[in-house]
Amino acid sequence: MCTMTDVRYAILNDAPELSSLVQQTIRISNGQDYPKRVIDRVIDNFSIQNVCQLINSRTVWVAVRGGTLSGTASLDDNTVRMVFVLPSAQGKGIGQCLMQTVEKTARSRGHKVLRVPASLTARGFYSKLGYFDVRELLYGDERTFVMEKSLS
């Protein structure tokens, strides 16, 4: 599945492109499931400065396909975060490739269970990868699902 995609660790020089990728993906993909005020609030979390802080504080990967930064994912202890694939690159296995990398790393670090806070938009994607709902969270009008997967 990962043969056409190169997955590597993110570096600080990736932050501008990574910030743009995440913001674009949230606007286009998540914008179908959430009101504009929620989208605007979430996008604010992914400024270039905040992305630099994330790269320094957790394990962040980027997927490069055809020379273009096409996706990202991160691991924060046993929690998967920041999984985004450019809308134009979705459905091509990039997200699955990133998640294989995350899960392999989590296993190597001794984690038995992975958690992910999933948006309405991504819930089906994670379900297909074997994650199941643990609970639903509401932050005002932002609805997310905590999902888990056993790694054993």
pLDDT tens-digit map of 84-103 = 999 999 999 999 999 999 99
Query: Tokens 């134009």 map to which residue?
Result: 88
% of the chain with per-residue pLDDT over 70: 99
What CATH superfamily is the domain 6-111? Gcn5-related N-acetyltransferase (GNAT) (3.40.630.30)
- pLDDT tens digits for 8-35? 999 999 999 999 999 999 999 999 999 9
pLDDT digits (tens, 9 = 90+) for 129-138: 999 999 999 8
CA atoms of 50 and 15, how far apart (whole Å): 9
How many CB atoms sit inside 10 A of residue 63's CB? Answer: 28
Question: Alpha-carbon distance 105 to 4, whole Å?
Answer: 20
d(CA 106, CA 84): 19
What are the pLDDT digits (tens) for 31-40?
999 999 999 9
Mean pLDDT of the chain: 94
Task: Provide the residue ranges of all domains of the chain, joining segments of one domain with +.
Answer: 6-111
3-state DSSP call for residue 10?
coil
CA 23-21-121 angle, to 5 degrees, is 65
Confidence check: pLDDT of 1 > 60: no
- Residue in 46, 39, 42, 37 with CA at minimum distance from that of residue 15: 46
Average pLDDT rounded to a whole number, residues 68-82: 96
Secondary structure letter of residue 66 according to DSSP: T
Contact 132, 116 (CB under 8 A): no
pLDDT exceeds 80 at position 125 = yes
Which residues have a Cβ under 8 Å from the Cβ of 152 and sit 6 or more positions away?
A: 112
pLDDT at 79 over 80: yes
Q: What pLDDT, on a 0 to 100 scale, did the predictor assign at position 12? A: 97
pLDDT above 90: percentage of residues in the chain: 89
- Asked if residues 79 and 46 have their Cβ atoms less than 8 Å apart, the reply is no
